[in-house]
Amino acid sequence: MTEPILETTLVTPAQIRESLQSLGVHPGQILIVHSSMKRIGWVIGGARTVVDALLSILGPTGTLVMPAQSGDNSEPSFWVAPPVPSDWWPQIRELTPAFDPQVTPLRRMGAIAECFWHYPGVQRSNHPLDSFIAHGPAATGIVSSQPLEAGLGEQSPTQKLYDLDARVLLLGVDYDNCTVMHLAEFLSRSRITVRQGSAILENGQRVWREYQDLALDSDEFIQPGRLLDATGQVRRGQVGLADCRLFRVRDAVDETVSWLKANRHHRILPEEKPALLETLKKKPIENLFAIGDLENFPLEADFLDVLALYQPDSAQRLDSLVVRYHQNLIVACPEKTCLMEPLRSVSDHPSIQFISGRTDVLKQLMPHRPEFDFRSMSLLSIEKSNFRPFEPTPAMAAQLATYQEPEVASLADIPALADLFASITEFSHSTDREERIRELTTAMESGSCHYAIQRDQGQIIASAGTTAENSTSAMIVGVCTALQHRGRGIASRLVSSLCNQLIGQRFQSLALFYDNPDAGRIYRRLGFTDTGDWMMASRKNQTVLQTLERN
């Protein structure tokens, strides 16, 4: 059976040349092209005709550049198009071949980039994920170096294209395909940091290498792109049926930087810290985590990002502050409401596993984050004046006497502590063991957390700890008792001894949040009282998500 006759437009090589020229492509330009072949129509000679037209118009003094990304050589837990089962991730990290600029395929760059890559004289930069291909006199300068970290940021080919005043041609695609605009995400400091990974060759050996990158989001380029359209700096036209735009890299990057600075959070600079701390300390319990992180860790720590958004009408008044601590996001919002679109944006990365903050704020975020489970928690606090130390009944005291005295956990206890947490079913929605070890180590090494532990025959069977210790307060976390030792006053004794050691001496107050009524009774007996509503969102695991999608 024959297929139906094509219904599209026939486009000749001469028409391609003429429309590119009338759009403004001319000899000697440095031009980066993003393209969709299928939008043009039926081109005689296909992708090759387009590449030939571009090269011949640019001539021997012009340089043609295209992105050559290999998105499948990246951290698999970040994949969304499509996501893959989590039990594949270790094998993907272990077995993906090392990036090789000669052979690693381009992914989703389109037929034109695919064709251009095979032209003689085309050079490819050596980045496992975000490489570029280029041909012409400026090619070597553009692709000869590309840092592994921040591969689309400063010192990368995007920066070189900016410095060389190159042009961008969007051929049948929109601004969300415009790679150079990623440079704006670095310059505006507007994204959280993520731990990217790729297979590379190191000293002749294939290794899976982790490196810092930003949570880049090209979907957001449409909005600054429309503003750029309105400035008159963009030449518009058609190549075949494809809508096209030609503009300067600098104009696009500058417009995107301004848009991101006005509409998104930015990673704060050290000089912003004192004023922000002053604002946060007006509500020391509600903002306890944020205050603790700001006081305890340097802003450049790789496990931390502190991002602020000021109110649109006043550069001094904070709209919201978002702290990324490892895989957790803490939202602090000094007013009753805050802008939701920036919060949606900053929380939109698969590396984020937990989001917490005031209930009224997180409830507004809930519709935007269906991949998270939101749980309401009670936020309680205690001061010295209302602390009522644990007094066991005689029967309970006799039972407690069969255990050793509680101890303070040291760094060496962290793996056993993480094992205890992993065994507590009520904690099954929380951080996995390895991540927990990383977080506890960071906190204990910085001196911002302390754990009281109960051993039984050498094994840790219960714990109560602090985190985010700061100049006025600390959060009690990790309160748990192994199932077979419950109901004997062990948790009550641990929390009571923490309070006894800490409040009135190191801290004015202590806080905690809970949703387990068994725990709530212990805290309230000791004198903790309601201080607000807290919400905690944890990423649904893949099985839950798949079940939801099927229903």
Ligand X SMILES: CC(C)(COP(=O)(O)OP(=O)(O)OC[C@H]1O[C@@H](n2cnc3c(N)ncnc32)[C@H](O)[C@@H]1OP(=O)(O)O)[C@@H](O)C(=O)NCCC(=O)NCCS
488 binds ligand X (CB under 6 A): yes
Please state the closest distance from residue 429 (CB atom) to ligand X, in A: 11
Q: Is 486 in the site for ligand X (CB under 6 A)?
A: yes
Helices 222-231, 249-263: axis angle to 10 degrees equals 120
Contacts of 63 (CB under 8 A, 6+ apart): 29, 30, 31, 134, 135, 136, 137, 138, 139, 142, 166
Q: Contact 364/490 with Cβ under 8 angstroms?
A: no
Binding mask 339-378 for ligand X (x = CB under 6 A): ----------------------------------------
Q: Per CB under 6 A, does 521 bind ligand X?
A: yes
Member of 223, 525, 532, 540 binding ligand X (CB under 6 A) = 525
CB of 363 to ligand X, least distance (A): 21
Residues 322-341 that bind ligand X (CB under 6 A): none
| 48 token code pair | 């090759």
- Binding ligand X (rule: CB under 6 A), the pick from 393, 402, 457, 551 is 393
Work out how close the CB of 516 gets to ligand X at its nearest, in angstroms, rounded to a whole number: 3
Report residue 22 as tokens. 């009338």
The minimum distance between CB 527 and ligand X, in angstroms, equals 11
According to the binding rule CB under 6 A, does residue 212 interact with ligand X?
no
Q: Is 292 helix (H, G, I), strand (E, B) or coil?
A: helix
Instruction: Kindly provide the residue ranges of all beta strands, DSSP E only, lying in 102-218, ordered along the sequence.
Output: 123-124, 132-135, 167-171, 193-202, 205-214
* C-alpha–C-alpha distance, residues 206 and 98, integer Å: 6
Nearest approach, Cβ of residue 477 and ligand X (Å): 8
| DSSP conformation letters of 113-145 | HHHHHTSTT-EE---TTT-EEEESTTHHHHHS-
Residues 127-146 that bind ligand X (CB under 6 A): none
Contacts of 80 (CB under 8 A, 6+ apart): 350
| Closest CB 174 distance from ligand X, rounded Å | 47
- Is 287 a binding residue for ligand X by CB under 6 A? The answer is no
Interface with ligand X: number of residues (CB under 6 A): 23
Q: Which stretch binds ligand X (CB under 6 A): 153-161, 265-273, 302-310, 480-488?
A: 480-488
Residue 403 as a binder of ligand X (CB under 6 A): the answer is no
SS (H, E, C) 262-290: HHCCEECCHHHHHHHHHHHCCCCCCCHHH
Q: Does 535 bind ligand X (CB under 6 A)?
A: no
Q: How far is the CB of 456 from ligand X (least distance, A)?
A: 12
Q: Any contact of residue 316 with ligand X (CB under 6 A)? A: no
Stretch that binds ligand X, among 32-40, 75-83, 217-225, 488-496 (CB under 6 A): 488-496
Quickly count: other Cβ atoms within 10 Å of residue 88's Cβ.
Answer: 12
Closest CA to 530 of 359, 338, 278: 359
Is the CB of 292 or the CB of 334 nearer to ligand X? 292
Round to whole Å and give the CA distance between 449 and 453. 13
Exactly one of 308, 382, 519, 536 binds ligand X (CB under 6 A); which one? 519
Q: Does 463 bind ligand X (CB under 6 A)?
A: no
Work out which of 492, 509, 531, 538 binds ligand X, going by CB under 6 A: 492
> Closer to ligand X at the Cβ: 98 or 511?
511
Whose CA is closest to 37, among 341, 244, 218, 309? 244
Residue whose C-alpha is closest to residue 22's, from 238, 221, 201, 247: 238
Question: Is position 514 an interface residue for ligand X (rule: CB under 6 A)?
Answer: yes
- Calpha distance 210→500 (Å, rounded): 43
Structure tokens at 137: 């006199």
Piece in contact with ligand X (CB under 6 A), picked from 50-58, 111-119, 171-179, 511-519: 511-519
The reply on whether position 37 binds ligand X by CB under 6 A is no
Binding positions for ligand X, 412-451, rule CB under 6 A: 424, 426
At 510, the amino acid letter reads L
518 scored as a contact of ligand X (CB under 6 A): yes
Q: How many residues does the chain have?
A: 551
On the question of a cis peptide bond just before residue 82, with omega within 30 degrees of 0, the verdict is: yes
Of 115 and 498, nearer to ligand X (C-beta) is 498
State whether residue 84 is helix, strand or coil: coil
Which part of the chain contacts ligand X (CB under 6 A), choosing from 100-108, 274-282, 478-486, 499-507?
478-486
Which span sits near ligand X by CB under 6 A: 42-50, 107-115, 390-398, 445-453? Answer: 390-398
Interface with ligand X includes 490 (CB under 6 A)? yes
Can you give the binding site for ligand X, defined by CB under 6 A?
390-391, 393, 424, 426, 462, 479-481, 486-492, 514, 516, 518-519, 521-522, 525
